[in-house]
Amino acid sequence: MSDSEKWGVSTKLVHAGEWRPRVLGAVSMPIFQTANWVEDGDASDYHSVHYMRLSNLPNHTVLAEKMAALEGAEAALVTASGMAAISAALLSVLKAGDHILVQDELYGGTHSFVANDLPRWGIEVDFIDGENPSSWEGKLRPNTRAIYFESITNPRLRVANLDAVVPFAQAHDLVSMIDNTMATPLYFKPAEWGFDLSLHSATKYLNGHSDIVGGVVIGKADLVTQVHHKLDHLGGSMDTHTCSLLHRGVRTLALRLPAQTKTAQALAQMFQDHPRVTRVYYPGLESSAGHDNAKRLLAGYSAMVSIDIDGGKEAAKRFVERSQLITDAPSFGGLETLATRPAASSHAGLTPAERAERGIADGLVRLSVGIEDTADLLADFTQALD
Ligand code: PLP
């Protein structure tokens, strides 16, 4: 094991993948604002020509090495968005005639992609209950090729029996894939559990400042190369300015997320005791479904809390309006506390029946807890609920 593999996560965030010696002595990685590179005669194939769309400029590779180191995986690739990472990964693993098993609660964009787009290209999909592994085998088909999970689900923040996924995938020769956006490499490292591919929306905690969209694919080297080649054709590469912002943002992940997590736990407890809140979803609460899995599998519960408010949609809207510190916006993982109603944002692409089936009520509010003072958020949310 090399010294850098033994580093703790904060050291890896700062130092892993960084160029030594530094580029012309620059302490921070400069932005290589160039679409192409002078040919040196080394390109062995199309994918090794140095060109920004092929995700192989220094701003891409430094980040890719850092991301792979963070999850203890063989390789990584940065992409233009989380959906670019997810769609390129699925399209490189699957072909017409294949079948995939997918967890039944997913980010809405991923849900729409697998439920609506994949079948149009001849790929069959079945949804499975992530917390009931004994039901998975019944959904297998001779053409099942992959299995897909999220480490913490969106928006009800459940944690599946993730330790059962890789043994099941290996027994049935499936590619195991997981969206690790919400847990982040700080709280869950898919490669250590044997997952083949880990996918991220870097838009969220990895960047942490609500000012870019980006994605990451992390995993086994041969599979990451396959995804990379698919992405080269699909064109979803990350612009190097965005690489630079993500590079700056990710280095403070280990300072930001634990602080946000601590506040999220305090808020979840307050919500649990508040008479206007009918249900709290937070994997760190004993009363939350999936808590046992979260406790066993995650190193932290992350900083998203969802609540059902007495009075449904109208009460939910009033709660957000009366808060002074909440910004009413979709997405999550930034420094500032955000709230959204998933029925009107991340999961608006699902039909009302699909949302009802998944327990996503119109009045469900999903909070992304920021780095504000815990006491200020507690006071503000309590007055807004009262
Ligand atoms: N995965 C999860 C869990 C998400 O919540 C999102 C977006 O909200 C995505 C993936 C898609 O990421 P992006 O918006 O960066 O494409």
Per DSSP bridges, beta strands 124-128 and 144-150 are unpaired
Q: Tell whether 55 and 135 lie within a shared domain.
A: yes
Q: Tell whether 286 and 137 lie within a shared domain.
A: no
Q: Which of 222, 250, 278 is the last residue of a domain?
A: 250
Instruction: Look up residue 140 and give its two tokens.
Output: 């297998």
pLDDT tens-digit series, residues 285-341: 999 988 999 999 999 999 999 999 999 999 999 999 999 999 999 999 999 999 999
pLDDT tens-digit series, residues 140-159: 999 999 999 999 998 899 99
User: Would the CB of 346 count as within 6 Å of ligand 1?
Assistant: yes
Nearest to 54 by CA among 43, 46, 44, 63: 46
- Angstrom distance (rounded) from CA 121 to CA 123: 6
pLDDT lower than 70: segments of the chain: 1, 3
Q: Tell whether 259 and 226 lie within a shared domain.
A: no
Alpha helix positions (H), 41-180:
58-71, 82-93, 108-112, 118-120, 165-171
Per DSSP bridges, beta strands 338-340 and 144-150 are unpaired
Instruction: Give the closest residue (by CA) to ligand 1 atom 12.
Output: 82
Q: How many alpha carbons fall within 13 Å on the CB side of residue 66?
A: 30
How far apart are the CA of 110 and the centre of ligand 1, in A? Answer: 8
Q: Tell whether 229 and 169 lie within a shared domain.
A: yes
Q: Which of 250, 265, 293 is the last residue of a domain?
A: 250
Instruction: Look up residue 255 and give its two tokens.
Output: 């300072």
- State the pLDDT at residue 1: 66
What are the angstrom distances between the C-alpha of 146 and each of 78, 215, 297? Answer: 22, 20, 22
- State the pLDDT at residue 72: 97
Q: Which of 250, 267, 288 is the last residue of a domain?
A: 250
How far apart are the CA of 158 and the centre of ligand 1, in A? Answer: 16
Q: Tell whether 356 and 285 lie within a shared domain.
A: yes
Task: Tell me the residue range of the domain where 226 lies.
Answer: 3-250
Decide if 317 is catalytic. Answer: no
Q: Which one is catalytic: 107, 148, 187, 205?
A: 107
How far apart are the CA of 304 and the centre of ligand 1, in A? Answer: 14
Prediction pTM value: 0.96
How far apart are the CA of 366 and the centre of ligand 1, in A? Answer: 14
Q: Tell whether 126 and 55 lie within a shared domain.
A: yes
Q: What is the CATH number of the domain that holds 322?
A: 3.90.1150.10
Bridge partner list, 368? 304, 338
Q: Tell whether 239 and 342 lie within a shared domain.
A: no
Q: Tell whether 245 and 260 lie within a shared domain.
A: no
Q: What is the CATH number of the domain that holds 236?
A: 3.40.640.10
Nearest to 307 by CA among 357, 204, 382: 382
Nearest to 360 by CA among 338, 375, 344, 376: 344
Residue 137's CB: how many other CB atoms inside 10 A?
Answer: 11
Decide if 179 is catalytic. Answer: yes
Decide if 187 is catalytic. Answer: no
pLDDT tens-digit series, residues 76-94: 999 999 999 999 999 999 9
Nearest to 179 by CA among 87, 116, 99: 87
Number of structural domains (the chain) is: 2
Q: Which one is catalytic: 98, 104, 179, 232?
A: 179
